[in-house]
Amino acid sequence: MTSAANRDAVQFTIRAATNKLDVETRVERCRDATFGRAFTEHMVTLRWSPDAGWHNGQVEPLAPLLLDPATAGLHYGQIVFEGLKAYRLDDGCVGVFRPDRYAERFQRSAERLMMPQLPVCDFVHAVEHLVREDAAWVPLEQDRSLYLRPLLLAADADLGLHPSRNYLFVLTGFVTETFFGARRAIDVWLSEDYVRSVPGGVGAAKYAGNYAASYRAQEQAAEHGCDQVVWLDAIERQWIEELGGMNLLFVEPDAAQLVTPPLTGTILPGVTRESILELGPRLGLSVVERPVSVDEWESGCISGRFTETLACGTAAQITSVGHVRGHARSWQIGDGRPGPVAAELQALITSIHRGIDKASDGWLHRIDDTREGWSMADITKNTTDVSATITLIWGEVLTAQVSGESDFFESGGYSVTAARVINRISEIYGFNASIRDLYNNPRLTDFIDAMSAQIAKKVETCS
Ligand SMILES: Cc1ncc(COP(=O)(O)O)c(C=O)c1O
């Protein structure tokens, strides 16, 4: 069901929302950034049929889908999805983290479920379109991002028990904060009564049914005060596989190693996992993929051989596991609190997400924010005259003061424009000031004063 190789890229028709939300309403909608709630204003849809292949790309206002009650995907679960993130970069652009890797996994999931594979370039174009249209929604705050949710659904209105002939792709996005909120270690429950995946099954696919099937075990975990389920292998029930929505890594400092279960077809090949495996050597850690049993995990933590266990995924980023609980055993990892390797890896991956660390620059797919007056060309034009720039920023300060500073800082709207201007001035005058300085400064006026003083000093030195 792979689409023809030498085909043209899908064309997208753009029908933007006529009444885009004002900043205040958008800020209000994002106040609760609990996973999966604060959806943006647009969506991207695509269709697939045997005759036309991928076609009818639409960028349109977010709206309910009109589906026939006999839509095959709704009955038989022929549905796969993805989850990736767009981050606000320090230069004001937006960066999507490794969209090609998510696109490839989307293809593998589709292939497993007998669905057509969306070419990587069309997947990435769909993402670019949504991010451009909803650029104002990409948050500025360090612990927030725009989560992108591609979905592929069997669309035939036909309940014959066979793969659908027609498919619908839908891409939506929502503002989210790091899954487990404030930095804390999570507690996990050893699932000894239920299994997630079997050899030859669909565990390696991001198949919708995997998630509904995990709810019962997740409820059991919650009843025991745990945040997540640890899935074990289905045959021997002793080998560690992964968590409900994250992969696991074990830190063995004496061997300078990160250990993680291998991809044998029953666990999801996480993009975060893959990235950490590539980043480990930068922290002086070699990476070993090998099976780890529950007994080894427990004894390793008790003896101090495993000092940390890391849970990693797009939604949760890198989170430490504090305690493991099961029917017959329970133990603490380290002192039960977030560990140093987790913190170091999180800091490194955050700086990659934000475009600060350049060593893995190829992982970030940059998308310029093309809203009127927001492109780098506009900013450059604005910043050729310093006094005009300062006036522009002062204008924003006044707006902030009128609308209330906290909203201004939370909005990720006006402040981003100002931040871009600041970045540009910094470049022209060669001093260090960034969007973070702006954001972290509780009083924007002080920042502007400091910046003006730096410019004045620079001009004085040069003249
Ligand atoms: C079952 C499962 N394991 C692991 C992961 C982590 O994968 P990634 O790092 O690509 O988000 C996810 C999230 O997608 C998941 O659903």
Residues in the chain: 463
Output the pLDDT for position 422: 63
Model pTM score: 0.85
**Residues lining ligand 1, judged by CB closer than 6 Å?**
83, 242, 245-247, 268, 270-273, 313-314
CA distances from 308 to 44, 155, 256 (A): 41, 45, 12
Average model confidence (pLDDT) for the chain?
A: 85
Sole residue written with tokens 């969209």: 99
pLDDT in tens, 107-119: 999 999 999 999 9
Q: Which fold has domain 12-177?
A: D-amino Acid Aminotransferase; Chain A, domain 1 (3.30.470)
Structural class in CATH, domain 186-353: alpha beta
What's residue 128's pLDDT?
97
DSSP string spanning 112-130?
HTT-PBPPHHHHHHHHHHH
- Of 246, 267, 277, the one to substitute when testing ligand 1's pocket (max ligand atoms within 8 A of C-beta) is 246
% residues pLDDT > 70 (the chain): 76
Nearest CA to ligand 1 atom 7: 270
pLDDT at 90: 66
* In the chain, domain spans: 12-177, 186-353, 376-462
Q: In whole angstroms, how far apart are CA 49 and each of 10, 54, 115?
A: 13, 7, 11
- Does residue 23 contact residue 68 with C-beta atoms inside 8 Å? no
Query: Residue 195 and residue 213: Cα distance in Å, rounded?
Result: 9
Instruction: Look at residue 383 in the predicted model and tell me its pLDDT.
Output: 47
Q: Closest residue (by CA) to atom 2 of ligand 1?
A: 245
Q: Within 13 Å of residue 286, how many CA atoms lie on the same side as its CB?
A: 5
Please list, in sequence order, all residues whose beta carbon lies within 8 angstroms of the beta carbon of residue 204, skipping any fewer than 6 positions away. 108, 112, 197, 263, 265, 266, 267, 268, 269
Interval 270-285 mean pLDDT: 96
User: Which distant-in-sequence residues (6+ apart) come within 8 Å of 22 by Cβ?
Assistant: none
Residue among 149, 176, 247 to mutate when testing ligand 1 (max atoms within 8 A of CB): 247
Q: What's the CA-to-centroid distance between 20 and ligand 1, angstroms?
A: 33
- pLDDT tens track for 78-91: 999 999 999 988 66
Closest listed residue to residue 189, CA positions, set 224, 141, 159: 224
User: What's the pLDDT tens digit per position in 326-377?
Assistant: 999 999 999 999 999 999 999 999 999 988 888 787 899 999 776 655 555 5
* Residues 105, 122: Cα–Cα separation, whole Å: 14
